[in-house]
Amino acid sequence: MTQAPCRVRFAPSGRQGTVPAGTSVLEAAQRLGVDLDSVCGGRALCGHCEVIAVDAAEAPGSASPSSPQLSPMSAEEREFLSRRGPMAGRRLGCRARIQRDLVVEVPETSRLQRQLVRKPCEAHDIDVRPVVHPYFVAVEPPATGDSRGDLERLAEALRREWTLDLSGCDPAVAADLPRTLRSDGGEVTAAVRHDGRLAGVWPGLKDRLLGIAVDVGSTTIAAHLCDLGSGQVLAEAGRMNPQIRFGEDLMSRVSHVMHHPDGREELTRAVRASIDDIVGELVTRAGAGRDDVLELTFVGNSIMQHLLLGWDPTELGRAPFTLVSDRAVDLPARDLGLRVGAGTRAWVLPCIAGHIGADMAGVLLAEAPWERDEVSLVVDVGTNAELALGHRGRLLVASSPTGPAFEGAQISCGQRAAPGAIERVRIDPVTLEPRYRVIGSERWSDEPGFERELPACGVTGLCGSGIIEAIAELYLAGVVASDGRILAARAAGSSRLVAEGATSSYVLVHGEPGIRIRQADVRAIQLAKAALFAGARLLMDRLGIERVPRIRLAGGFGAQIDVRYAMILGMIPDCALERVSSAGNAAATGARIALVDRESRAVIERRVREVERVETATEPRFQQYFVEALAIPHEREPFAELRRAVRMPAPSPRRGPQMRSAVARHFGSAGDAGR
């Protein structure tokens, strides 16, 4: 083999340069700054540096397996590659030595930094830029007279083999080093964080590190276990938030903290124990161990975030709703009571304001409206509605005091979205007879087999989407007037409208108690939707726009709601129907992004610092917009289209079927993952 210089070009990065003949492709990549992954450091153990050799004369893609540009394949390399699947053109970058000019293609899976393509409903692909990476090294055995500790010899090996300087290490990570370094002849894999801290050490080769993104909702805790290297989701799991036993809604939990000396500790302990339980389930399902989890990220509304961290949430229960801190929190996972690796860290996304929690920070990270030219309105409906409006580097947020009506609270027959709740309603505009669908069943109430498929609890109430559809349908049928009155005059020939005191109610399900839409329910929804609409108007004013070209509905409610009905009621500003879409559980997606893309953390921290907060409570125009938005808008632009649209078959709810079944598995029924 001559030492003549060879030109090598890497695709798709386009980086190129000259290396002496005999240089391995991995060395060439490292020298030219090409992102080619490796865990074993060139020992043909991990296969992360797999490449495809292309003749320099040919275009990338036309692989030449027996290319003379590279050294011949050894039996060892051939066997290793064949274990990993079909061979076409593939070579191990650490074994293939460059003999002549060539082009090397680095497949996506061989890059340390890659992109995860997301589902169509999601806003943008996820960059994978791991917070922690495994490095295989051979650590020198200690000699007599060598006073260096095990940790220092490991640091030396990382410096020698990877030009990597350890910046420190949690002392607990070093506790078992003596055994680890001596169990496999000094060959270990060290997990090193991007800041240089040692996060874990295992004997031999370990090329998969795990992380968990946790969405702490007040109702449900949901978590995704991810491969930190590839960004792929390996398992999902969920639980009811056990804090529910201390109070169904957020304010009653704050009240529990205020009135019980150990209240805060109880709530904190409960949520941490449940998360620890989920961690156990996730690693078991992925065939891994708790120590394999190196990183966790958390989103949740401000009260959930405070209780997770053990912070006093009292001030979040009263004006001016002051946070303990508006920054992201980085802490050892064990400080959250989680039994994971000794060097495992937890990163808790920042809250944006007292009412705009870390869950909204997650939504914003997932949606990144500032990255688009076009303005987007992002709406996350929970106990209050959190709104964001932005484009081209600009971002405004507000919280609208909708109250919990959209979650089924403050509605006479309302309930949380859970098995047995009516989620879809259609009302015949002539006969006023309804048909409906219930969570836990795929059939409409007028379809054969409906009764048989009902969940065991039967029909239990109306959830948020159910009440919205019912009121919108009553409006379309002329039973509810534009000002919200239920018109008893429309009762002629129907048993569905009954008088209750001075007002009338619509009977959706006959029986005692049955399920009714009462005048007070219409009023509650009117107040909530007016608040939501007025908040959005305020943001639009601030940005100086009259119409929003694109609306994204985040969260469980956003996925469950039928956008057409939301528009009929005037919950959201005018927008072309096809430009209104669900963002899925964007808060959870945000937690996943923060988990696998270290650079996203600085992005959301900066956004939260720089975001323009619009105060609905003190802005005089909010009151005006609110009053104006109380009526159901009969002259809205796409109204005729909407009227036609809702006569078509309803689309399926967009809740993630996987998460739904994960929760169901725990509760023996199809629960809802809405936060």
Nearer to a second copy, 145 or 649 (CB): 145
With beta carbons less than 8 A apart as the criterion, state whether 554 and 363 touch: yes
Residues paired with residue 414 on neighbouring β-strands, in sequence order: 462
Nearer to a second copy, 126 or 604 (CB): 604
Distance CA 330, CA 2 (A): 52
Mutual angle of helices 519-543 and 620-628, in 10-degree steps: 130
As measured in angstroms, the least distance from the Cβ of 181 to a second copy is 9
Nearer to a second copy, 127 or 605 (CB): 605
- Report DSSP state, residue 395: E
Half-sphere exposure of 190 (CA within 13 A, CB side): 33
- Report DSSP state, residue 117: P
Query: Strand, helix or coil at 195?
Result: coil
As measured in angstroms, the least distance from the Cβ of 217 to a second copy is 21
As measured in angstroms, the least distance from the Cβ of 177 to a second copy is 5
Nearer to a second copy, 354 or 558 (CB): 354
Half-sphere exposure of 294 (CA within 13 A, CB side): 28
Distance CA 217, CA 222 (A): 8
Nearer to a second copy, 45 or 155 (CB): 155
**Amino acid (1-letter code) at residue 555:** G
As measured in angstroms, the least distance from the Cβ of 636 to a second copy is 32
Nearer to a second copy, 355 or 654 (CB): 355
- Identify the residue whose tokens are 């987007």: 376
As measured in angstroms, the least distance from the Cβ of 251 to a second copy is 16
**Amino acid (1-letter code) at residue 342:** A
Distance CA 283, CA 291 (A): 9
Between the CA of residue 666 and those of 272, 441, 653, 659, 672, what are the distances in Å? 18, 18, 21, 11, 12
Query: Strand, helix or coil at 150?
Result: helix
Nearer to a second copy, 143 or 489 (CB): 143
As measured in angstroms, the least distance from the Cβ of 180 to a second copy is 9
**Amino acid (1-letter code) at residue 361:** A
Single out the residue of 131, 184, 186, 139 nearest to residue 158, CA to CA. Answer: 139
Nearer to a second copy, 66 or 144 (CB): 144
With beta carbons less than 8 A apart as the criterion, state whether 399 and 382 touch: no
Nearer to a second copy, 591 or 611 (CB): 611
What are the residues binding a second copy (CB under 8 A)?
Answer: 142-152, 170-172, 174-179, 309-312, 314-315, 319-320, 322-327, 329, 331, 335, 351-354, 613, 615, 617-618
Nearer to a second copy, 569 or 594 (CB): 594
As measured in angstroms, the least distance from the Cβ of 441 to a second copy is 44
User: Could you write out the three-class secondary structure of 330-390?
Assistant: EEEHHHHCCCCCCCCEEEECCCCCCCCCHHHHHHHHHHCHHHCCCCEEEEEECCCEEEEEE
Q: 612-614 and 394-400: which strand pairing?
A: parallel
Quote the tokens at residue 444. Answer: 């409409």
> The dihedral of CA 87, 90, 93, 99: what is its sign?
positive
Nearer to a second copy, 180 or 218 (CB): 180
As measured in angstroms, the least distance from the Cβ of 618 to a second copy is 6
As measured in angstroms, the least distance from the Cβ of 664 to a second copy is 34
- Identify the residue whose tokens are 């961690």: 279
Which stretch of DSSP H or E encloses residue 450?
helix 450-453
As measured in angstroms, the least distance from the Cβ of 413 to a second copy is 36
Contacts (Cβ under 8 Å, ≥6 apart) of 352: 326, 360, 361, 397, 608, 611, 613
As measured in angstroms, the least distance from the Cβ of 229 to a second copy is 28
**Amino acid (1-letter code) at residue 536:** A
Distance CA 64, CA 17 (A): 21
Nearer to a second copy, 73 or 214 (CB): 214
Strand (E) positions, 307-360? 329-332, 345-348
As measured in angstroms, the least distance from the Cβ of 607 to a second copy is 13
Nearer to a second copy, 4 or 172 (CB): 172
The alpha-carbon radius of gyration of the chain (Å, integer) is 29
Quote the tokens at residue 433. Answer: 């007879």
As measured in angstroms, the least distance from the Cβ of 90 to a second copy is 42
Quote the tokens at residue 13. Answer: 């990065």
